[in-house]
Structures are given as C-alpha cells and as structure tokens.
Structure 1
Amino acid sequence: MCLIILVRLPTVKAEGPGVALRLGAVAHQAPAPLAKVALSTASVYPENTASAFRIAGRLGYDGVEVMVWTDPVSQDLDALRRLSEREGVPILAVHAPCLLVTQRVWSSDPWRKLSRAREAAEALGASTVVVHPPFRWQRGYARDFVAGIRRMADETDVRFAVENMYPWRYRDRRLEAYAPGWDPTDEDFPHFTLDVSHAATSRSDALAMADRMGDRLGHVHLSDGSGSGKDEHLVPGHGTQPCAELLARLAASGYRGHVVAEINTRRAASSAQREADLAETLDFTRRHLAVPGGGAGAAGRPVPAEEAGP
C-alpha cells in the first residue's frame, strides 16, 4: 500500500504555496485504482504544453492527455516525446484538434486531422484519441462521421473515443451546433469519452449517460459544473455534479480506462494557485477511485476488461 508514496514523493521538485497540499494528497493514495489519472494539457492554460508536463510530473499524475491546439509544441511529436522523457510522464491520450480555434491545425480536412491524431497516438504510445462530434456546418464530415469513426477504429488498436458535447445557449435561445448530435450515445460508436462538465452544461445526468455508454466508456474528462449552461470545468467537488459517485462506480466496476483532469484554471491568481487546483483535483480523483482491494472482484482478482462497466 506504500508503493505510491515511494514512487511519487521524489517527483515533488518545487517549494512554495501548494507543496503541503501536494504532499498530503500523496499520503493517502491507497489502494491504487486500476484506472490511470492523467492531466489534460488544456488544464494549465494560459500556460503552455511544456508547463503541463512539468506540473504533471511534479504532482505525480500518471500521465498526460495532449490537447492539440495552436501551441506549436502540442503539434510537434518530437518535442512531445522529449517532454515526456524528460519529465518522466507518459502520454496516455491525444485530443484531436476539434475546437473552433483549431480548425486549421493539422489540416482543414477533418478526416486528415483524425488520421494525424491516430499517427501521433501510435508514435507516442497513447491508447486513445479523443474526438468531438462534427459541427453542423461540416456537412460532408457529419454525414459520414459515424461510419468513418467505426472504419478508422477497425484499422488501429488506438481507441477513437467520441466525447459528449452540449447545445449552445444564448439567453433564451438554444442552438444545436453538432451533428449527428451533441450526445454521442444516440449513435453506435465503438468508444466514448464522458465529459462531466459537458454533461452539466447540457443539463444531462452524468451517471445515466455513463450507463448508456456501458462497456464502451473508455475515457473520462473529470471536472465539475453547476448546470448553469456554461462549460465551467470546475475543480471536482466545487459544483453540483456526481463526480465522487461516478469515480466510485468506475472503481467498483474495475474500470481500466483513463480519468483525465480537465479543469479551467485560466482565472487562477498565480501559477501556485493553478498548481494547487490541479493538486486538489488529483487528490479528489485518487481518493474516490480507491476501493478496498484496489478494484479487485469478489475473489480478489482484477475485473477483466470485458466484464467492466460504468
């Protein structure tokens, strides 16, 4: 039970505000869950991709999810590999450039973007590519999206995990911005990403969505939300979403996917406060993923992946 302490304590490299919280977080991370806890590089914005690797290594995250965006380093496989090796932090997932601000990153062709993301994941040793549903105005892409994702998934061991989004709202107006829709469980995708903040924004029941995803739930973006209609990405426990219950259910089922901290720290008053928020998120996640026996079944054995559910 002390293995995590022995492994993680040497990674605390900095002093100052937040160090006591980091040490406290490490001290009770037992028993170890089957799921790996990663840091999304988007969580350190407006700091850059390199900062995310440093923070992930310092705090003791199991790895990172690389958000491919306008930061040149996030697009450079050699630079990402060097960061991973230098900080001792593996790359567990690649988030394809699906945002409005990344429409021309890695090509303006959305299928080429996904091919590049798969190539990056394969080259960097990541098991998952996270992808958003198409925007409605991407008509050809949207029309072929479900069949195309299934076809690409059949060509690689990398999982294409389609993420739940939300309707856009402005005052009393609601815009359906995604096609076939913002809820991927309406379609037959091989794998899903459950984003808890997006569930809050769409005013969906995150636990019910996890149930619908079933054993195809392979990736979780963990953050909180208040259901305000804004995509808040709060520190878990700071909103109204069932973050703790979701993690406990994942742990009890023997979930072997990734749980990725994807919080919004852009309004942090300082780098120290940003790091403290990320340490708190890691602590929350590890505590609620920890179950007696480390996720073992009734006979003391790990639950096989094919038996695992949400």
Structure 2
Amino acid sequence: MSSAVSIPGATVALSTASVYPEGCAGAFATAARLGYDAVEVMVWTDPVSQEAGALAALAELHGIRVVSVHAPTLLLTQRIWGPEPWSKVDKSIELAHEVGADTVVLHPPFRWQKEYARDFVEGIAVREHETGIRLAVENMFPWRARQREFEAYLPHWDPVPQAYDNVTLDLSHTATAGSDAMEMAHVLGSRLAHVHLADGLGSLKDEHLVPGRGAQPCAEFLEFLAATEFSGSVVVEVSTRKVTPEQRDLDLAESLAFARLHLASAMTPSTGDQQ
C-alpha cells in the first residue's frame, strides 16, 4: 500500500514584525520573494502599517494577501491610535475589514488597564458577533525580574481557561511562560484559531527564535495541526533585527521550509487509490 502526502488548508504567513527594523514594504517584498502565502500586519510606528490603502497597494503589487492584523496592544505601541484601548481594537477591526483580513490578534489587557480588563471578555465577544472578524487573544507570560514574578495581565496571561472563542498560540511565549504548548493546543481544540510560529529556550526574555533552534515542540505542534486539519493561519514571527539582510532571508526561508515540512502529513490513500 502506498502513501501520499496531504497538506492541510493552513495558510503560512509572514509577520511584518519578522523583518524589523524594515517596514511593511520590505515585509511584503520578502514574503513574496520567499514564497509565503500571506502577511500578518503588525500595527506599528511605520505609517504604512496603519493605512489600509497603502497595505492594499502593497498586497496588489506583490500578489500576496493580508491574512491578519496585529492590534497595537503591546507595551511599546501604547501611543499608537491614542491611549484608549477599545479604540485601538476597533480601528484594528476596521483595518482588517478594509484589507480583507479575517483575524485580529490582540494581547490581554495590562493589569493597570482595570476598566478595559473588566469588560474585556464580553467586549471581545460582542465585537466578534457584530463584525464577523475573529479576535484571537494571544497567550502571554508572567514578567520576571530578580527571581520575582509579576502578573502583568488581566484577566490572565494564559487565555486557555478564559471564555474566548478564538485564541492565538505563540510558541515563543509558551517558552517564556514555561507553558506546555501541546497541552494548550489539545485543551483549546477548535478555539485555537491562529498560531505564531517561533521558538524559545525558556529564558526570561521573549526570544522569538527560528523554529527548531529552541526547546519548544515546534515540529510536533505543526504535525498536530496537520492531523487535526487546522485551517487557520500559521504566522512566522521571529526576531531578525540583529542579523544582516542576507541572513534574514535565510532565517525566514528556513522558517517557511520548517512550517511546510511539518504541516505535511502522511495519509493512507483510499482503497480505490491503491496500486
């Protein structure tokens, strides 16, 4: 009996954060050149990342679509689109609609954003219902310094026990948190809507290594996605800010090859296909 290779419907996309300090224009060009399926736009200080018309023009120029928008809910993007957090979320939803993306990735509220945090779970659910855009809340990690741990997020850095319909799992964040990525994926089931593919060695900082260069079960995780016919997006989000442009291309090509290899699953053909 022969076997065939089946590749699930998961999109492999490149996060614009993966080419930092280059901007969105460089990310689209890189994604198209290396053969990625799509791009995730991190809303950042780069004005292009905030402008639907400019993003649409880049998508058309390079023949590559925008699959998701990462809202500016990071600590370093607090000044983008003003200080009001729900306004950031709503503008991200609007941007996603305008560029044809179906998912907005966002972080849970910071602990000091008490009013935002109080209504966060319900607010996410209402916006998903009203807009049809998936709001996939990302797993984070406790902050640590001098052997002390600080819970920086509300309701929690771990989205799995929360009542979110859609979750993003980031494999660099699982490394930093000391979480079990495979267990999280199994518990989430169909709520696992989006993946940030990276790696980590479990240090105190968020490393975003090329998959396969850390200690996370990146290969096993992707094979699990294939086996469960995951149809969301796998977004390569790795750090290349300290390497040369040539090395960046090599790292991002390696990340893409890693994703495609492990998303390919062996399957047994039907009886009629047997030779």
Name the TM tier (shorter chain). over 0.9
Query: Which consecutive segments of 4 or more residues in structure 1 shift more than 6 A?
Result: 296-300
Q: Is the 8 A contact 1:55 1:275 kept in 2?
A: yes
| Candidates 271, 286, 289, aligned match of 2:260 | 286
Structure 1 counterpart SS, 2:105? strand
The structure 2 residue matched to 1:51, chosen from 18, 21, 26, is 26
Please state how far the C-alpha of 1:229 moved relative to its aligned partner: 2.2
In the aligned structure 2, how far is the partner of 1:299 from the partner of 1:164? 42
Distance 2:146 2:242 in 1: 24
Aligned 1:1-310 pairs, distance under 5 A: 31-268=6-243, 270-292=244-266
Tell me the distance in 2 between the aligned counterparts of 1:267 and 1:31. Answer: 36
Spell out, residue by residue over 1:151-210, the C-alpha distance to the aligned partner (whole angstroms, 9 max, x if none): 111112210000000001112111111011100112100100000100000000000111
> How far is the alpha carbon of 1:31 from its aligned partner?
4.5
- SS, match of residue 274 in structure 1: helix
Distance in 2, Cα, partners of 1:94 & 1:49 = 12
Give the Cα separation in 1 of the matches to 2:266 and 2:214. 27
- Give the aligned length: 268
TM-align CA RMSD: 1.6
Q: Deviations over 1:89-142 (max 9, x none)?
A: 100000000112211212211111111111111111101000100000011001
Give the Å deviation of 1:230.
1.5
Aligned partners of 2:269 and 2:235: how far apart in 1?
Answer: 24
Cα distance in 2 for partners of 1:229, 1:211 equals 25
TM-score normalised to structure 1 length = 0.84
**Cα distance per residue 1:217-254 (max 9 Å; x no partner):** 01000000011122100000000100000000100111
Report the residue type matching 2:200 in the other structure.
G
**Alpha-carbon distance in 1 for matches of 2:151, 2:179:** 15
User: What fraction of aligned residue pairs are identical, expressed as a percent?
Assistant: 57
1:185 is paired with a residue of what secondary structure?
coil
Normalised to the residue count of structure 2, the TM-score between the two structures is 0.94
**CA distance, structure 2, for counterparts of residue 64 and residue 213 of structure 1:** 24
Secondary structure, aligned partner of 2:40: strand
Kept after mapping to 1: 8 A contact 2:43/2:69: yes
For the 8 Å contact 2:68–2:96, the answer to whether it is kept is yes
Q: Counterparts of 2:37 and 2:22 in 1: how far apart (Å)?
A: 20
TM-fit CA distance, 1:215: 0.6
The answer to whether the 8 A contact 2:7-2:226 is kept is no
Gaps of 5+ in 2: none
- Superposed CA offset, 1:39-58 (max 9, x none): 00000011111100000000
